[in-house]
Amino acid sequence: MSNWFHRNPLKATSKITFDLGVVAESLPARSICHDLATNRMNLLKLLVDPAVTTESVLGLTQQYISLLMGFIEPPSNEESEDPVASNKLRSMVMFKWSNSAEPKNASPIMEPDALFEVCSMLYNVALWLTKHAAKLSAKDEVSTDEAKEVHTSLRHAAGLIQLIRDKYVSKLNSSPKPGDDLCADVMEAYIHQSVAEAQEVTLARAIELKHDPSLIAGLAKETSNIYQKAALSLKLLDAKVVGKWLKYLEFKKHCYETCAYVYFAEQQLKIEKAGSGLAVIAEAEKAHKLAIETAKVYGRTEGVGLSAKMAEHCFFRRLGIMIENTRRKLERENSMIVDISAGRPTSELLLFLLSCPPRCLLLTSVD
């Protein structure tokens, strides 16, 4: 899947020594602070390389966050129902982080809040997981085990950002500003994008195993819908910053809408409804043209992130070939039976547009 995924840069940060001075006078306290600084530095070094193993990254993340929670959670002898209740150590260290999507030369966010550090580091790990997935999927030949790892990495990325959103952001000392990584709209976009990209793996597996066209069409339609939700999350943000990212999401929306129509047309052919299939394939052509145009706009749009070349990818080019082949088969079948006009959408197409696939499809594994 080379050049298939748009990726924003990792969040940048400054070095933290966790030197608490006289606050940490005892040897065990100084040892913990030293371990915090060392684990943080080692974790940041790992995140630079998307090719390292998920086990090494997640293992070191767990070690670092476990130690850091000692700065956030109240002492065990204090009763509190709030997991991030008062702890005097929480505001002892100043943390500095950039956003993954921000204007050039933007000032970093500085917060004396250990919970802000937890959110930012987990966010960076989530971004690394998406880059790791993209790295694996860029191989010429992706094995079944690698496809599973891509799927798992993307689902974990979505889960981490959802954890930050649901459990921690509301408890920060300072509320995120619009457009910051920790604002609701940006987190929603990342969550939906990661879920949709994971579902691409499920869809690719269904196509590889030659599942029923109606099942593939349903999965593709749901994937398109998730990308649309991700795009809508970015609509109100600065186009100069997120414009390229937004166009990527819109392209994927049109791409999988095309895929849904193509396989639904194949289903109509399978049940000998060639006239209905011709109406569906006409919709596929419209969606395909929109995807091509969106890819062109993506290429010349400002914004953060490494550019992808989606329109050149084999999956998208194969969709164009499938449209032509399916249209020819439908026209041949239709002429052999009876001349049925394909100019207006059929009831089957309208039902497909309004329907949703069974929820179990969203949980389909790549096994």
> Domain check: are 229 and 354 in the same one?
yes
83 & 119 share domain:
yes
By CB atoms closer than 10 A (0-12, 13-18, 19+), residue 62 is exposed
Question: Do 233 and 140 share a structural domain?
Answer: no
Domain match, 224 and 84 both: no
User: pLDDT tens-digit profile of 246-270?
Assistant: 999 999 999 999 999 999 999 999 9
Residue keyed to tokens 């002492």: 75
Q: How far apart are CA 99 and CA 65, in angstroms?
A: 20
Give the contacts of 359 (CB within 8 A, at least 6 positions apart): none
Same structural domain, 155 and 212: no
Q: Which residues of the chain have pLDDT under 70?
A: 1-2, 22-24, 76-86, 337-367
Whole-angstrom Cα distance, residue 194 to residue 198?
6
DSSP one-letter code for 223 = H
* Same-domain pairing of 364 and 216: yes
Structure tokens at 355: 């329907």
State the total domains in the chain: 2
Q: What is the pLDDT of residue 304?
A: 87
Contact 99, 242 (CB under 8 A): no
Range of the domain at 32: 1-182
| 162, 182, 202 - which closes a domain | 182
Contact 260, 267 (CB under 8 A): no
Same-domain status, 145 and 227: no
- Cα separation, 182 vs 327, in Å, equals 46
Task: Give the separation between CA 279 and CA 288, rounded to whole angstroms.
Answer: 15
Predicted TM-score (pTM) of the model is: 0.89
Query: Which domain-ending residue is among 156, 182, 208?
Result: 182
Q: Is 6:245 a contact under the CB 8 Å cutoff?
A: yes
Does 273 lie in the same domain as 343?
yes
- Whether 167 and 273 share a structural domain: no
- CATH code at 347? 1.25.40.280
Domain boundary among 160, 182, 204: 182
Same domain assignment for residues 8 and 77:
yes
Q: Are residues 78 and 215 in the same domain?
A: no
Looking at the structure, tell me whether residues 148 and 273 fall in a common domain. no
